[in-house]
Structure 1
Amino acid sequence: MSDLEGLSTGDEFTMSVSGVETNIQIKPSGIDHCIVFWENIWGCWDTFECTGQIRSRNKYSYTSDEYRLNRNSLIKEILEIDTIGEFTIDTGWVYSQEEVQYLESMFISRNIWLLIDGRFIQVNTKTSSFDPYLTRRFKKSFKLTFEKTIR
């Protein structure tokens, strides 16, 4: 671990633990990030750190009813307000085709969580299409959309 002291932003190295090798790149601190957790097909958790822009948006839908108070007055009353929380997350740069395929495996998961600002939020993916391979795309970044499962 003493070899890690002289690392700076952009440095890359390979770490091996129990025969599994992982490539690690040092990214700048202080950037916005979100970690996506999903349950894979074997019931284990996978993670992906997104370093791009994060947008949180609430959509509201209203259930209302109209009735007559008298022959001249029509009253519209709101019966229920439904808040739908959505997130749009830019992955930041994805450096290898293996990372792209790994990220794509998230779309078949039924159990996805986001970690944003220290809060875990259970979500469903709303990303309807994904282009894992595109010629002449040298810098890869993807936009992911999610909807809160609990309203």
Structure 2
Amino acid sequence: MLDDVFRPRAARLVTGTMAVVVAAATVLLIALLSGTGVEGWSTADLAGIALVGAAIVWFLWRQATVSATPTAEGLRVRNLATTRTVAWGEIVWVRFGEGRPWVQLDLDDGDTLAVMGVQRSDGERARREAKRLSTLVAVRQRTGRDD
């Protein structure tokens, strides 16, 4: 339970649904435009529509798959644009104060790292997940001397 993957629920539901709708709408649009027989819609135009639809679906898929995965070595954080693994000892603080859209990690080098796998849009569940992440960091940072 403590080592379960952190994933948002509301964002996954919304972006997953939107990805399906955009994919279906793109296919339908291409089918309708290519079947009309109207001059002016070239293969390049239809390919452009397909590429835009694919880019939107990719972006939505990436948003739907944000997560934070605990491993023995550290926390692998998959955000919208990047994936980064931080060692447990690098994490100084877990923050999820009011006004923050997702959990933020303060790192020992002075940097911060957003953890989009825990999002405020999940309400009380997000607060529980932030506490679980904070507990997990504390447990993983304990040494044999407990210092």
TM-score (norm 1): 0.22
Higher relative contact order (CA 8 A, sep 6+): 2
More helix per residue: 1 or 2? 2
Rg larger in 1 or in 2? 1
More strand per residue: 1 or 2? 1
